[in-house]
């Protein structure tokens, strides 16, 4: 829940940066260490149980339905997350369900919905995306709580890379990740990166256990 806003360009930027670095290395003394080190890998749970443990998914597949025209952005966001998450995430099809705070569940475990302002009690004005989870503590009488489903609502996010970033972040919440301070992770409260950071990957590896 945050405010958010081409490969060739990235390659050119990296190549250009490497070129500049070579010039700087050849012409200058070594630079002083930066005041802030490289972003460290970091993740936090979205929800913790009574013992402070990360609440996680245990499932065979996670089916996602969508409301509204998300183009290929949902599939792109899932493709970014999937290599780090053990449980296969499958787009099951469209739905007309508008998730509400008191009724997240749609026809499948996760629903991603484009909503108009005021249409969902999950949606907040000026917030690009919101995620919430359904929890279950009844599995075999265990105290552990599992994530059993979730919902994401979005209103005014522009399609394309910005929406992919928001979707990736919100899917991170639904899959069990909370916010971190490190700007190097997609789970920063206001993510500025595309793709996953090391902390995101570590977190996703911990919050998804495939059980079939
Ligand atoms: Zn968030």
| 166 CA to centre of ligand 1 in angstroms | 9
| 93 CA to centre of ligand 1 in angstroms | 25
Predicted confidence at residue 185, as pLDDT, reads 96
Choice among 26-30, 47-51, 191-195, 199-203 with the minimum mean pLDDT: 26-30
The first and second tokens of residue 41, run together, are 């890998």
| 208 CA to centre of ligand 1 in angstroms | 18
Average pLDDT across the chain, whole number: 81
Domains of the chain: 56-210 (3.40.390.10)
| 8 CA to centre of ligand 1 in angstroms | 29
Read off the pLDDT of residues 60-108 as tens digits, 9 standing for 90 and up: 999 999 999 998 999 999 999 999 999 999 999 999 999 998 887 778 8
Report the share of the chain in percent with pLDDT over 70.
76
- Provide the residues around ligand 1 (an ion) whose CB is within 5 A: 1-2
The more confidently predicted of residues 155 and 185 is 185
41-51 in b/e form (b: 16+ CB < 10 A) is bbbbbbbebee
Read off the pLDDT of residues 37-53 as tens digits, 9 standing for 90 and up: 454 689 999 988 877 88
**Alpha-carbon distance values, 97 to 43, 63, 103, 109 (Å):** 31, 15, 10, 12
Predicted confidence at residue 201, as pLDDT, reads 96
């Amino acid at each position: 829940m945050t405010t958010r806003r081409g490969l060739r360009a990235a390659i050119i930027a990296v190549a250009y940066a490497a070129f500049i670095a070579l010039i700087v290395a050849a012409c200058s003394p070594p630079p002083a260490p930066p005041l802030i080190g490289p972003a460290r890998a970091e993740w936090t749970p979205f929800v913790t149980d009574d013992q402070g443990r990360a609440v996680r998914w245990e499932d065979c597949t996670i089916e996602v339905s969508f409301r509204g025209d998300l183009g290929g952005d949902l599939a792109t966001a899932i493709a970014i997350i999937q290599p780090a998450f053990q449980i296969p995430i499958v787009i099951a099809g469209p739905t007309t369900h508008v998730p509400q705070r008191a009724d997240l569940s749609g026809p499948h475990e996760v629903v991603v919905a484009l909503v108009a302002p005021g249409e969902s009690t999950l949606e907040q004005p000026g917030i690009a995306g919101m995620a919430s989870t359904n929890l279950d503590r009844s599995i075999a009488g265990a105290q552990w709580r599992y994530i059993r489903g979730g919902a994401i609502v979005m209103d005014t996010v522009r399609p394309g890379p910005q929406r992919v970033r928001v979707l990736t972040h919100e899917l991170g919440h639904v899959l069990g990740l909370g916010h971190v301070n490190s700007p190097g992770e997609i789970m920063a409260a206001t993510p500025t990166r595309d793709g996953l950071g090391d902390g995101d990957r570590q977190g996703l590896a911990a919050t998804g256990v495939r059980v079939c």
